């Protein structure tokens, strides 16, 4: 069951396009910076990194335990590869949020230095 809070969080999620970052309001830039800082904190958290790597090792152990070459074994390999890809995609998503934060900070710093714009 989807809760109202979940729907509200989904509908209010941050959508950032680097082409529009110069047109963002200070409040929008602050949201991007807060979101990016949270992502950066997760990326820098040693416990989080440890669990991600342990989970990847667990998945690789599952992959190495598949020794056959039947259609079912190949299907399992594909499923495990998709799991690994999902983990990498999540990490890339966090890195992208940090990148957008860095761009927002750069944009705000530049606009403070160049008040003529």
pLDDT at residue number 8: 77
Q: Is 50 exposed, middle or buried (0-12, 13-18, 19+ CB in 10 A)?
A: exposed
Asked whether residue 95 is assigned to any structural domain, the reply reads yes
Indicate the number of domains in the chain. Answer: 1
Asked whether residue 9 is assigned to any structural domain, the reply reads no
* Measured distance CA(80)–CA(78) in Å, rounded: 5
Asked whether residue 25 is assigned to any structural domain, the reply reads no
Asked whether residue 14 is assigned to any structural domain, the reply reads no
Asked whether residue 64 is assigned to any structural domain, the reply reads yes
Asked whether residue 12 is assigned to any structural domain, the reply reads no
* Measured distance CA(77)–CA(19) in Å, rounded: 39
Domain of 60, in residue numbers:
31-111
Q: Is 100 exposed, middle or buried (0-12, 13-18, 19+ CB in 10 A)?
A: buried
- Could you give the residue ranges of the DSSP H alpha helices within 45-117? 46-64, 71-113
* Tens of each residue's pLDDT in the chain, 117 residues: 677 877 777 677 677 776 777 788 888 888 889 999 999 999 999 999 999 999 999 999 999 999 999 999 999 999 999 999 999 999 999 999 999 999 989 888 877 776 655
Q: Is 29 exposed, middle or buried (0-12, 13-18, 19+ CB in 10 A)?
A: buried
Which pTM does this prediction carry?
0.79
**Structure-block tokens of residue 35:** 């979101």
Asked whether residue 116 is assigned to any structural domain, the reply reads no
DSSP-derived letter for residue 18 is: G
């Amino acid at each position: 069951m989807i809760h109202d809070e979940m729907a509200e969080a989904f509908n209010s999620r941050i959508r950032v396009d680097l082409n529009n970052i110069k047109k963002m309001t200070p409040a929008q830039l602050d949201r991007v910076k807060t979101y990016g800082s949270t992502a950066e904190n997760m990326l820098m958290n040693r416990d989080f990194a440890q669990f991600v790597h342990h989970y990847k090792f667990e998945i690789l152990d599952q992959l190495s335990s598949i020794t056959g070459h039947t259609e079912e074994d190949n299907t399992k390999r594909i499923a495990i590869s998709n799991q690994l890809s999902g983990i990498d995609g999540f990490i890339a998503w966090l890195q992208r949020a940090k990148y957008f934060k860095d761009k927002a900070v750069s944009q705000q710093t530049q606009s403070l230095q160049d008040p003529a714009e």
